[in-house]
């Protein structure tokens, strides 16, 4: 009998996808890939398939070309990979709201979801909570801040009470009074509002501490990423918004902090690398010995500094947190508006500095829609996308 964990890797060709392949490669006795998917990068997927020989392969956008026998195609392939009977853990490393349905499908099939795709929780937090309560699945965060919070909380995750409301969280924590989420501040941390108004795409893509996919890199420059992460923390851990704080920490060594009821604060630290959060989510609650994760040197990393967020220069953070507090479809609208704004920044049709205005426009128009079920959320998402597509 195999004791190895069968892994489905959705988004195998991306930044987190490649990190996950590196981590699994070091632990062949613990993990093996059962399923791999990619969006349109056929070459990258073919190389990963040759390396891992998975049972299931899916390419979402085949461009009309013939695919090797047995490959799945279309968005349905994400669900097929996530629900494959030999899969125990689904690493969701897809970017954007496109990852939500696979998260839900995996949970309904009783899988662990090692979740990098934070947009799943922002768009469909209540639906994900319902799927966790109804099935035997669970969500373990891969995002470094949320992995840090979970590591600080080790041993204090409470079982979800039967019949709990969606707001109770997916990993409810006992005895926690405050979460302090760190933000690198991105490339514009020290720029004035006037300088940011003239920022170019190449400036926004020049992240000081993390090498990541292009969408999250832009999100880190606008602090939209931190807004998504505050909502993610609220959905994951069931902590009210007024007990989640954001602090700028330019060195990206302290990945987040947890304050307990007695005032004690625990921080999780390490060199900025996604290998540890991926490994931790795969092995949770165990720690798996791993010589490949880069080691921390306190002297080389010093000094460690902390600064307040400059909300006037980064209004996207406040817009996102307000959308999270508002609830309903507002977080989904925030996310969809941001996705389209970022795509337009990347294709040169919207200046970086216009991202918050584009999001505000969508939130004002359709942010108060209900978000009770998937069709309602997808409708709000689509409305926000078309508004921002036309935004001038």
Q: Which two tokens stand for residue 272?
A: 């900025």
Q: Which of 143, 275, 339, 381 binds ligand NAD (CB under 6 A)?
A: 143
Residue with Cβ nearer Mg ion (83 or 220): 220
| Span 373-392, contacts to Mg ion by CB under 5 A | none
- Using the rule CB under 6 A, is 317 a contact of ligand NAD? no
- Using the rule CB under 6 A, is 93 a contact of ligand NAD? yes
- What's the sign of the alpha-carbon dihedral 145, 149, 154, 159? negative
DSSP-based three-state secondary structure for 186: coil
Q: Nearest approach, Cβ of 322 to Mg ion (angstroms)?
A: 20
Cα(274)–Cα(13) distance, rounded to whole angstroms? 15
Q: Which of the choices ligand NAD, Mg ion, none does residue 293 contact, using the CB cut-off of 5 to 8 A by kind?
A: none
DSSP-based three-state secondary structure for 19: helix
| Span 71-90, contacts to ligand NAD by CB under 6 A | 78
What does the DSSP 8-state code read for residue 193?
A: H
Cα(78)–Cα(167) distance, rounded to whole angstroms? 27
Sheet of 72-73, strand order: 72-73, 56-59, 31-38, 5-10, 89-92, 112-115, 138-141
- Using the rule CB under 6 A, is 183 a contact of ligand NAD? no
Nearest in space to 5 (alpha carbons), one of 211, 357, 284: 284
DSSP structure string for 93-134? ---SGGGHHHHHHHHHTT-EEEE--THHHHHHHHHHHHHHHH
Q: Which of the choices Mg ion, ligand NAD, none does residue 17 contact, using the CB cut-off of 5 to 8 A by kind?
A: ligand NAD
Q: Which of 274, 309, 358, 366 binds ligand NAD (CB under 6 A)?
A: 274
Q: Nearest approach, Cβ of 92 to ligand NAD (angstroms)?
A: 8
| Span 243-262, contacts to ligand NAD by CB under 6 A | none
Question: 338: number of CA atoms within 13 Å, CB side?
Answer: 34
- Using the rule CB under 6 A, is 270 a contact of ligand NAD? no
| Phi-psi group of 328: left, alpha or beta (phi > 0 → left; psi -120 to 50 → alpha; rest → beta) | left
Q: Nearest approach, Cβ of 386 to ligand NAD (angstroms)?
A: 17
Q: Which of the choices Mg ion, ligand NAD, none does residue 98 contact, using the CB cut-off of 5 to 8 A by kind?
A: ligand NAD
Residues 124-153 as x/- pattern, contact with Mg ion by CB under 5 A = -------------------xxx--------
Q: Nearest approach, Cβ of 232 to ligand NAD (angstroms)?
A: 9
- Using the rule CB under 6 A, is 16 a contact of ligand NAD? yes
Q: Which of 87, 98, 253, 281 binds ligand NAD (CB under 6 A)?
A: 98
- What's the sign of the alpha-carbon dihedral 241, 229, 138, 283? negative
Partners of residue 91 on adjacent β-strands: 9, 114
Q: Which of 34, 35, 60, 363 binds ligand NAD (CB under 6 A)?
A: 60
Q: Which helix (H) or strand (E) holds 245?
A: strand 244-248
Residue with Cβ nearer ligand NAD (160 or 272): 272
Q: Which of the choices Mg ion, ligand NAD, none does residue 329 contact, using the CB cut-off of 5 to 8 A by kind?
A: none
- Using the rule CB under 5 A, is 119 a contact of Mg ion? no
Q: Which of 24, 87, 94, 140 binds ligand NAD (CB under 6 A)?
A: 94
Contact 113, 119 (CB under 8 A): no
Contacts of 103 (CB under 8 A, 6+ apart): 82, 90, 92, 113, 115, 117, 120, 124, 128, 131, 139
Cα(36)–Cα(56) distance, rounded to whole angstroms? 7
Residues 201-230 as x/- pattern, contact with ligand NAD by CB under 6 A = ---------x-xx-xx--------------
Binding site for Mg ion (CB under 5 A): 143-145
Residues that bind ligand NAD (CB under 6 A): 11-17, 38-39, 41, 60, 78, 93-96, 98, 116-119, 143, 210, 212-213, 215-216, 274
């Amino acid at each position: 009998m195999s004791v190895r964990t069968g892994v489905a890797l959705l988004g195998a060709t991306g930044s987190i996808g490649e990190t996950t392949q590196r981590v699994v490669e070091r632990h062949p006795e613990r993990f093996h890939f059962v399923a791999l998917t990619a969006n349109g990068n056929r070459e990258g997927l073919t190389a990963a398939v040759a390396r891992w020989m998975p049972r299931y392969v899916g390419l979402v956008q085949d461009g009309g070309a013939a695919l090797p026998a047995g490959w799945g195609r279309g968005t349905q392939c994400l669900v097929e990979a996530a629900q494959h009977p030999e899969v125990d853990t689904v690493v969701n490393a897809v970017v954007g709201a496109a990852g939500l349905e696979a998260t839900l499908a995996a949970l309904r099939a009783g899988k662990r979801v090692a979740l990098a795709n934070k947009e799943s929780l922002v768009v469909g937090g209540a639906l994900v909570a319902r799927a966790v309560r109804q099935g035997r699945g669970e969500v373990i965060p891969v995002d470094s801040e949320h992995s840090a919070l979970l590591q600080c909380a080790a041993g204090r995750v409470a079982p979800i009470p039967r019949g709990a409301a969606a707001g109770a969280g997916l990993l409810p924590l006992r005895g926690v009074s405050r979460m302090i989420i760190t933000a690198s501040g991105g490339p514009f941390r020290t720029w004035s509002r006037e300088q940011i108004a003239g920022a170019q795409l190449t400036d926004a893509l020049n992240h000081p501490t993390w090498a990541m996919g292009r969408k999250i890199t832009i999100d880190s420059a606008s602090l939209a990423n931190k807004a998504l992460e505050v909502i993610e923390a609220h959905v994951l851990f069931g902590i009210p918004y007024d007990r989640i704080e954001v602090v700028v920490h330019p060195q990206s060594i302290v990945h987040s902090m947890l304050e307990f009821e007695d005032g004690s604060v625990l921080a999780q630290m390490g060199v900025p690398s996604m290998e540890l959060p991926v490994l931790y989510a795969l092995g949770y609650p165990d720690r798996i010995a791993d010589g490949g994760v880069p080691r921390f040197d306190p002297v080389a990393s010093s000094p460690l500094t902390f600064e307040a967020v400059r909300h006037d220069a980064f209004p996207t953070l406040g817009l996102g947190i307000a959308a999270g507090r508002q609830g309903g479809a507002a977080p989904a609208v925030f996310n969809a508006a941001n996705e389209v704004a970022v795509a337009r920044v990347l294709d040169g049709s919207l200046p970086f500095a216009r991202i918050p205005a584009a999001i505000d426009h969508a939130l004002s128009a359709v942010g108060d829609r209900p978000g009770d079920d998937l069709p309602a959320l997808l409708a709000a998402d689509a409305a926000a996308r078309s508004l921002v597509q036309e935004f001038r």
